[in-house]
Amino acid sequence: MTEDALTDAAALTRLRAAPSTTALGAGTLLRLLRDGRPRTRSELAGATGLARSTVTQRVDALLASGLIGPTGEAVSTGGRPPTTFSFRPRARVVLAADLGATHARLALTDMAADVVAEARADLDISLGPEPVLDWVVERGRALIAQADRDVSELLGLGIGLPGPVQHSTGRAVNPPIMPGWDGFDVPGYVGERLAVPVLVDNDVNIMAIGEHHTAWPIASHLMFVKVATGIGCGIVSEGRVYRGAQGAAGDMGHIHVATGADKPCRCGNTGCLEAVASGAALAAALTEEGVPAAGARDVVELARNGSVPALRALRQAGRDIGEVLAASVNMFNPSVIVIGGALALAGDHLLAGVREVIYQRSLPLATEHLNIVSSEAGEGAGVIGAAVLVIEHCLSPEHADRLISGTA
């Protein structure tokens, strides 16, 4: 098997893993071409098993959509040299919003999730869905104009929300810090203003996707832990977000830990990880110790200034988080654990505590090749992940077919 054939085989395996309800259409060819390598019509027919006439038809549709373009001529084997085609990642743009409790970040990217333009704002999520989403739409239009692009070139919009989201409908479900958002039809509201697909997910899932895309693209099983006011986890397994049966996977903040004892948690239970190791819990405990702190950012500030109680608290929080992760390492055997979120900005004390307990408690086979690291994508992870979510959805064979035929 030649190297090219291997590349095609790998690309085809990946595209078959994508859900689809249609036969192999133009979207399948697009998926194959997304690796950037130019291919002739014959190569596309050979790689997919599609009839030559079908390939010609679908290549024409892709050319008309602008998603692929001719790249040159292949080496001729006699006669007129055949044209090669490749994917054009800049043909469309994507809007991606990462909405936090009090801050919002918006990015315009291309179809490789590379950021073209960006905006930030102090925006309180508790204002409710309409003003917040109006800001996303208006600021989004401005970013598109600023980048000399047109709204007609918009592929889709991805939004991360700071609370539980039912991914299939894009609605928030009982979000504790988002008054007015419960059950609100986010894709419906935004889709009326920007006629493109709108994908909504919770903030930690989009951060996990962004981190995977940026720093660990070939990792098979990645867990991204966000340690901020609360504690949550996003899981990327075999290239896709692992959501579990009800989409509730990754809710690690309410797992019981030994040091939790019967300490009350905001969820109504006692002894949860979040009740002892979150930014809110650490700030409260330090304040009680006589070291005043209002939240996660104050704890980080104290730690940076060398406050021993703050450093001790961060180290112990790391151990508590490590206790939960050590069990997950034995049960689910990830290859990468990334520690991110506001508390992770305080230096290596949190990470050291996590590592200490995982290496002490997990099985040697499961930790032999395990990476336990800080976030590399940093604060930009969310918007990159939201963009990747949109790109993977819209360019999946099923949806790309509709996009290409112009019905999406």
Which two three-digit tokens encode residue 313?
């608290």
Q: Are strands 221-227 and 198-202 parallel, antiparallel or unpaired?
A: unpaired
Pick the closer one to its own copies by CB: 98 or 201.
201
DSSP 173: -
**229 touches 279 (CB < 8 A):** yes
If the CB atoms of residues 59 and 94 are measured against its own copies, the closer one turns out to be 59
The token pair at 49 is: 């098993």
Is 140 or 334 the residue whose CB approaches its own copies more closely?
334
Closest approach of its own copies to the CB of residue 249, in Å: 4
Residue 307 vs 330, nearer CB to its own copies = 330
Q: How far is the CB of 17 from its own copies (least distance, A)?
A: 6
Question: Smallest gap, in angstroms, from Cβ of residue 147 to its own copies?
Answer: 35
Nearer to its own copies, 240 or 297 (CB): 240
3-state DSSP call for residue 107? strand
228 within 8 A of 296, measured Cβ to Cβ: yes
Q: At its nearest, how many Å lie between its own copies and the CB of residue 335?
A: 4
Q: Which residues of 324-336 are buried (b: 16+ CB within 10 A; e: fewer)?
A: bbbebbeeebbeb
Residues of this chain that interact with its own copies (CB under 8 A) are: 9, 12-13, 15-25, 46-51, 54, 164, 173, 219-221, 233, 235, 237, 242-252, 254-256, 258, 267, 269, 323-324, 326-328, 330-335, 361, 363, 365-366, 368-370
Task: Considering the complex, state which of residue 197 and residue 271 has its C-beta at the smaller distance from its own copies.
Answer: 271
Instruction: Please state, in angstroms and rounded to a whole number, the distance separating the CA atoms of residues 198 and 147.
Output: 21
Q: How far is the CB of 330 from its own copies (least distance, A)?
A: 5
Q: Compute the least distance from the CB of residue 355 to its own copies, in Å.
A: 16
DSSP states of 268-286: S-BSBHHHHHSHHHHHHHH
Please say whether the beta carbons of 407 and 61 come within 8 A: no
